Each structure stands twice: as structure tokens, then as C-alpha cells.
Chain A
């Protein structure tokens, strides 16, 4: 798959990044380089290799179902750009 400036614009939109047209071409070229590396990886013979979800060969430690976290609302709201009635405030979103 080749990355052009249209794909760059779409990926940037999904990540909510603002990318200038000037940067777009350079980004396309670098992203294509990365994909070329991935293509090279794809050529490796992995017939007998089990897929893995994580590079470490260990499993997830689990936590007991206990309440351990205190109420930190006041501190959290303090660093929010806007808050009211115990809620964080954001520009109106409605679907």
C-alpha cells in the first residue's frame, strides 16, 4: 500500500493532528519508507511461529476486586480548563 497526501490527511484527521500541505509530502515519503520495512518483514517465513500479543512471554497479573482508590475529584477538577457542579466542562457535543 502506498501512502499519498490523501492518506496522510485522513490519518492526521483520525489522530486530530493538523498537518500542513508542506509537511504532507515529506510525511508521505517517510511513512512509505516505514511500510517498505514492514513489507520486508512480511517476507519472513513464520509458518511455524505462533502469533503473539506481547513481546514478553508472561501473562497478565490480576488484581483482587477491592476498592483502593480515594475520591480525587477536587484535585482533578482543579486542573481542568473548565468545571461546574462536579463535572468537567467541554464544548457542547451532541449527536
Chain B
């Protein structure tokens, strides 16, 4: 009898403000340890937090993007626990009155079906600092640059029933937060971190005991961690054991997970409303201004791509799903004048190359304008598609714009028919037996055998012969 899997997610989304949630400390990655930690972030006595307007604005914008109720008077609470990277001894977060109430996100599945994932709520909170366990000879180093970084924690209902759905949701959420510009979305920098709650049950049974796998920072790891945990729970239950409610840590390198701590005695956070902070008010005017400033959402963008560029459903999905990809695609289309070609190049050659070198599209060595120029040269017949790949490689290697590369390497397609005619004549003259063989073949075989001559011509012209023109000439001359 099969098991039913129940998955809920908690996602920490780092807001891309200039300063921290409760202090005017700078927010940026890569700074020297503790150089971006003010008295407030250090939890010094006598300091008071002041809320960053932009963080509240971004949280509310997210709420509107997922059709959620926005709490007009949200309240910050203290979540009390001791850990060295939490200098105040509590995390300032929200509990009963989060900024963002219940909402929903629609996901598309591989078989084309749609599914709605309900959002329980999303709250504003501060991040903790970092504990560094290596390089401090048996001690732990504490870097508080990250302490006080604004996050929204998005909590879903347990609406997903397999790893694929969870990943589809995670990708959609990534698309939303990057599209509305509240998060940079760089997973490798921890801009989005996923906690996965998994339980299994027999159909019709009440919910099983769940475990939480924390801090997954890539879609791939998330998918693998969920599959691993589902297998583990099935094994435990089918062997007659029971699932313990616990937090688990997944190691992507070894594809293993281990129990981190049992939740029973750890979870006594003694929340209470933070006396240092007043309720945060969001007015009708605030909401009107946010609605007016709402950037294009992924679903709207997809519809626009379908209508404006006549892309297939699949292409539109892929190209609209990630803001950086969408921006790149549109810029390349504008520069190149051909959406279908731009789509093929962005999802084909470019994606493969970025993937192989683990680069993000925002840092692509070939710019959208360069790709557009390449496409324009393909369209106007200056280069063949085979040569285009060569030009692309050269642009990638930093040899300049396509036009520069084509000029410098002499890659212009040979479209002077006189020159090409001479080459074709030479080939026919020098390959008597093949010509005879071709001429004595039937039409079907001729189609195959012409390839030999095309190959010869391409060899002589170093691939620069215009393929259509060449074919035409060969057919005429060979008869």
C-alpha cells in the first residue's frame, strides 16, 4: 500500500535593503567580519531599534503579490534563546500579527497541470550573525555583519505532495521575489534558504509526525533532501518504528542527513511582544502606493511573452520564470530582431555554457546586446548557424562584439556567387568518381550523396559558404 507525502515549506527571503532592519548598519556581502555591526546589532545595553521603512514596504509588496491580507498593525515579538551569534539573547520577529497574512501562489507542474499552494503567512524578522567553526583552533569565531539583516519568512500550508511540487513552488517564489525586486535571489549567497517539513501517511489517515530539514540553499539539494527524507520515513515506518519530531541537517556533498536536535525541549522560546517596538502601521494610502508601484509579476510576464513573441508555452515558462533571464531575453530580442532565435540561443547555447561554468545569466560574459548582434548577423545571412557558434565562443572568450569577431576572423559567409561557383566547379572537376556515382543515383540517394560535396565546399571555404546557395549551386551543376 502506497504512502502519501505531505510537504510544507518555510522560506527565508533576504530583503535587498541598503541598511539593516533595526539599525542604520550597511548591508552587503563580503565585508570584513564585524565591520557592519553597530551598537544595536551588537545588542549593547541602552540601544533601541528603529524599523526600516523600506523593509516594511518590501514585505507588504510581497503580500500584495501573493494576494494576501496585509496586517494594518503588525507586531514584533521577541523569540528568546541563547546562541553566540544572537547577541541580544532574542530574535526580533513576528508571531500573531505578521505583516503578511494568508495568500496563495499558483504553480505549474511538468504535466501542464496547475496547483495552488496556500501561504499561511509571511513575517518580518531579523537574521542572526554567523558562527565560524573552522580556523579558530577549537574556539568559535562570531561575525555579526549578518545580524539584523531583514528577512521575510514565508510559511506555506502543507499543500505539496512530492519533491517536484516543492521545487516548482520554490522556483515560483524565487521568480516572484526577484520580479518585484525585494530580494536579489542569489541562492549561493543564502539570499533564499529553505526549511522543508516532511511527513508521510496512508491515504485517509491523519497527518503523520513531521521532521524539518533546515537551511537548504539550492533547488537541487532541496529536491534530493526531500526524496531522501521520504525514503527514510517509509523505511522507519515499514520496519515498525515511529518518526521522531526533529530537526535534520542535509549534507549535499555526501547526500546524507542527520538529526540535529530533538524539538521537544528545544522549543520554548517564550515569545512576547517586544516592548521596544510599537505596532507598525500600514495605511490605505501606503497600500495604494504599493499597488501602483507593483512591478510585472511572473504570470503576467509569461502571458505577455506568449502574446508578444509567439513563444511556446514551454519557452515562455522558462524565459519568464527568472527575472534576470527574462530581462536578458528581451534585450537580446530587441537587439537581434528575432524572438524565436533569441529564445533558442538563451535556452540553448547560452544556458549550457553558463551551466558548465557555473555562472549566473546576470554575469554572462556574452551580453544580451552581443547575442542580439549575433542573431542579427544570422538573420541577415552574414554568417551561418555553424559559424554563429564559433562567433559565440569567441565573444564568450572576450574577443569582442560579434561584428568585431566576424571581421577579425574573416568569418563572413561567402555570398558572392561567382566565387562560390568557382569552388564548386573545382570540386566537381577533382572528384570524378563521386560525381559519376551521384549522377547515377536515384533522387533519394542523391539527397544523401550531395552531403559529400557540401562537406568538400565547406572545407575549402572554412564553413563560410552560404548553405542554401551552395546547395542550389551543387544541384544545378551536378544535375
Chain A residues with Cβ below 8 Å from B136 are 84-85, 87, 89
Partner of A72, one of B39, B84, B132, B273: B39
Q: Tell whether, in the assembled complex, residue A65 and residue B39 are in contact, meaning their CB atoms are under 8 Å apart.
A: no
Q: Which secondary structure dominates chain B's binding surface?
A: loop
How many interface contacts (CB-CB < 8 Å) are there between A and B? Answer: 132
Q: Which secondary structure dominates chain A's binding surface?
A: loop
Chain B residues with Cβ below 8 Å from A63 are 24, 50-53
B247 shortest CB reach to chain A, Å: 9
Query: Given A64-B53, A65-B55, A93-B84, does the pair A73, B37 have CB atoms closer than 8 Å?
Result: yes
Q: Tell whether, in the assembled complex, residue B139 and residue A68 are in contact, meaning their CB atoms are under 8 Å apart.
A: no
Residue of A at shortest CB range from B75? A53
Chain A residues with Cβ below 8 Å from B279 are 53-54, 59-60
The answer to whether the Cβ of A46 comes within 8 Å of any Cβ in the partner chain is no
Q: A17 to B436, alpha carbons, bound, how many Å?
A: 100
Chain A interface category by residue count:
35 or more
Chain A residues with Cβ below 8 Å from B40 are 69
Which residues of chain A from 74 to 95 have any CB-CB distance to chain B below 8 Å in the complex? Answer: 76-77, 82, 84-95
B215 shortest CB reach to chain A, Å: 11
Number of interface residues of B (CB under 8 A): 55
Residue of B at shortest CB range from A94? B133
Contact with A along B431-444 (1 / 0, CB 8 A): 00000000000000
Chain B residues with Cβ below 8 Å from A76 are 34, 37, 42
The answer to whether the Cβ of B422 comes within 8 Å of any Cβ in the partner chain is no
B109 shortest CB reach to chain A, Å: 36
Chain B residues with Cβ below 8 Å from A84 are 136, 139, 141
Residue of A at shortest CB range from B82? A16
Q: A82 to B38, alpha carbons, bound, how many Å?
A: 19
Q: Tell whether, in the assembled complex, residue B35 and residue A86 are in contact, meaning their CB atoms are under 8 Å apart.
A: yes
The answer to whether the Cβ of A14 comes within 8 Å of any Cβ in the partner chain is yes
The answer to whether the Cβ of A20 comes within 8 Å of any Cβ in the partner chain is no
Residue of B at shortest CB range from A15? B80
Chain B residues with Cβ below 8 Å from A95 are 249, 260-261
Query: Given A65-B52, A65-B54, A72-B39, does the pair A93, B131 have CB atoms closer than 8 Å?
Result: yes
Chain B residues with Cβ below 8 Å from A87 are 33-34, 132, 136, 141-143
Q: Tell whether, in the assembled complex, residue A89 and residue B140 are in contact, meaning their CB atoms are under 8 Å apart.
A: yes
Q: A59 to B56, alpha carbons, bound, how many Å?
A: 13
Chain B residues with Cβ below 8 Å from A90 are 84, 139-140, 142
Chain A residues with Cβ below 8 Å from B80 are 14
Q: Tell whether, in the assembled complex, residue A91 and residue B52 are in contact, meaning their CB atoms are under 8 Å apart.
A: no
Q: Tell whether, in the assembled complex, residue B34 and residue A77 are in contact, meaning their CB atoms are under 8 Å apart.
A: yes
**Chain A positions near chain B (C-beta within 8 angstroms):** 14, 16, 53-54, 56, 58-69, 71-73, 76-77, 82, 84-95
Instruction: Knowing that A84-B141, A87-B132 touch, tell me 15 more A-B residue pairs with CB under 8 angstroms.
Output: A53-B279, A61-B278, A65-B52, A66-B18, A72-B37, A72-B38, A73-B37, A86-B143, A87-B136, A87-B143, A88-B141, A88-B142, A90-B142, A93-B131, A93-B140
